[in-house]
Amino acid sequence: MSTMKKIFCQVIIAFAVMLVAACSKNKEDVRPGNLPTYTNNAKSGVRIIGSGDLMVNNIRLTNWKESNFGEVAYPYPTPYFPTTGKFSGAYYLPQQFLNENGEAIVKLYNLQGGSTNLIDSFKVVEDYSQPLDYYTGTSDDFTVTRVPRAVTAPVDPGHIRIRLVNLSQSASDNGTERLSLAYADGSIVNNITSGIANHKWSDYIELPYGTYQFKVLVDGKSNQIPGKPPVLTAASSYGDFSLSQSQVYYAPVQTYQPGGVYSIAVAYSTGYQYADSPLPTNCFSVINDVEPPVNVTYGRVQAINAANENGLKLQIDGIEAGSVGYGLAGDYSTVIKGTHNFKFADASGRGIAEISYTINGGDNLSLWVYETANGNAEVIPVQNNMTGLRMINTNPDGSDNGLGIYDPLKFGMLLQTRFSRSALCNVYSK
């Protein structure tokens, strides 16, 4: 071997030795990045409902940053609360915190004025046969209340399951009263969800899916329990404020999707405010016990009678679907996606109008029946969900909602109230 080749081989061997030595070097100064890991955050069946800074088994899950009432809370995400870093609402405890017996110790803190105040400390237990919710701060006597939670979907897949949970504080107004679930017009929903005593809850009932404005009434009194408003919503701007005296109540309008299971829970809250100070009161919140699947199967249809003073009868695919008075809207019917036949008859049963229409999952449709200039009845389908859905018709500029057209790309104003040229109808679509 020539001298140059020997030198080259020696250089290669030396470089290899140096490379091996570098790879075997102690890397104590190497640290992982700051990106959080979510690999161990699989949910357990234990759910905690409330707010505050959360500690589980002496491990801080929230960011422990103080945010005073009325101030902007800047997000400081944590691996367990990756959006805001704060616990507020409903939180499923990760399985990693439960020991071999399915237990964990939970502590809630309130950070205020530079001090750390322990709100509560309690033990949670995983129960596979009966999942539990742990409602915090529910009263002076019942700091934490364990409430069983349903995990089964409605029997009818086009329905929802819903119940009323009364965890109002006994130390506040209405805290010891019985409560009942009602519709927007004040009518009682069901006897099962009525007369619920303090720290009790009703069984679940089934209702057709759709948009509701539920209210919680105080039995035997004219006042009611308000819904928990959006954050920092001012409840009053003058004088001493009392919800029971003002008779003004907030109640959210919400779409309850098919297959969903919900609890309307009444608990003590500081959601209302007067001036710069929170005003604690009993409020209700809508809590998802079972998240509904995306609705790709069911639509809702109602008929509106602007044609016959003696009333109309509706058949859907040959099945009776109720009657509609003149100038009124009928009850909603739930239909499966696909093309359906809608037939209208007068009070004597004589067919006067008919239409076939394709329903998609999530559709909310009104079938307007009106009388034309020649005296015949016609049907126009109108979408009620006010989304970006484009309905093709003879008027391309989208300027006439009476023809069933709503094109937000061409029409400059979002209309939540519409006017029909066919008849003066007092109609509420939901």
d(CA 401, CA 383): 10
The pLDDT assigned to 131 comes to 93
Rounded percentage of the chain residues whose pLDDT exceeds 70: 69
The pLDDT assigned to 226 comes to 87
Q: Are 330 and 370 in contact (CB under 8 A)?
A: no
Mean pLDDT of 400-418: 47
Query: In sequence order, what are the beta bridge partners of 365?
Result: 301, 383
Please say if the pLDDT value at position 326 is more than 70: yes
Pairing status of strand 159-166 against strand 261-274: parallel
Please say if the pLDDT value at position 59 is more than 90: yes
Q: How confident is the model at residue 233 (pLDDT cuts 50, 70, 90)?
A: very low
The pLDDT assigned to 140 comes to 63
d(CA 36, CA 31): 14
292 compared with 142, residue with greater pLDDT = 292
Mean pLDDT of 364-388: 85
The pLDDT assigned to 156 comes to 94
- The correct CATH number of 298-403 out of 2.60.40.3500, 3.40.50.1000, 2.60.40.2890, 3.30.565.10 is 2.60.40.2890
DSSP 9-46: HHHHHHHHHHHHHHHTS--TT----S----TT--EEEE
Taking only the tens place, the pLDDT of each residue in 340-362 is 999 999 988 999 999 999 999 98
Q: Are 151 and 129 in contact (CB under 8 A)?
A: no
Helix, strand or coil for residue 409? coil
d(CA 78, CA 234): 30
143 compared with 362, residue with greater pLDDT = 362
d(CA 311, CA 302): 14
| Residue 6 host element (H or E) | helix 3-23
Q: Break the chain into its structural domains and give their ranges.
A: 41-149, 153-292, 298-403
Number of Cβ within 10 Å of residue 60's Cβ equals: 14
Taking only the tens place, the pLDDT of each residue in 16-42 is 656 655 555 555 555 555 555 555 578
Q: Give the predicted TM-score (pTM) of the model.
A: 0.76
The pLDDT assigned to 116 comes to 83
The pLDDT assigned to 184 comes to 92
Please say if the pLDDT value at position 159 is more than 70: yes
2 compared with 397, residue with greater pLDDT = 2
d(CA 256, CA 347): 34
The pLDDT assigned to 297 comes to 93
Mean pLDDT of 256-279: 77
Cα 424 to chain center, whole Å? 34
Going from the C-alpha of 402 to that of each of 209, 325, 406, the distances in angstroms are: 27, 20, 10
Taking only the tens place, the pLDDT of each residue in 283-307 is 899 999 999 998 999 999 999 999 9
Picking from 129, 126, 93, 123, the residue whose alpha carbon sits closest to that of residue 106 is: 123
Please say if the pLDDT value at position 171 is more than 70: no
Taking only the tens place, the pLDDT of each residue in 188-204 is 999 999 999 989 999 99
The pLDDT assigned to 278 comes to 59
The pLDDT assigned to 112 comes to 75
Query: In sequence order, what are the beta bridge partners of 56?
Result: 59, 106
Please say if the pLDDT value at position 394 is more than 80: no
Please say if the pLDDT value at position 271 is more than 50: yes
418 compared with 127, residue with greater pLDDT = 127
Q: How confident is the model at residue 229 (pLDDT cuts 50, 70, 90)?
A: confident
The pLDDT assigned to 13 comes to 64
Query: In sequence order, what are the beta bridge partners of 50?
Result: 89
User: Of 31-40, 174-183, 327-336, 405-414, which gets the smallest average pLDDT?
Assistant: 405-414
Cα 303 to chain center, whole Å? 28
Q: How confident is the model at residue 100 (pLDDT cuts 50, 70, 90)?
A: very high
Angle CA 47–139–175, to nearest 5: 115
Q: How confident is the model at residue 143 (pLDDT cuts 50, 70, 90)?
A: confident
Angle CA 350–351–354, to nearest 5: 170
Amino acid occupying residue 95: Q
Mean pLDDT over the full length of the chain:
79
Helix, strand or coil for residue 361? coil
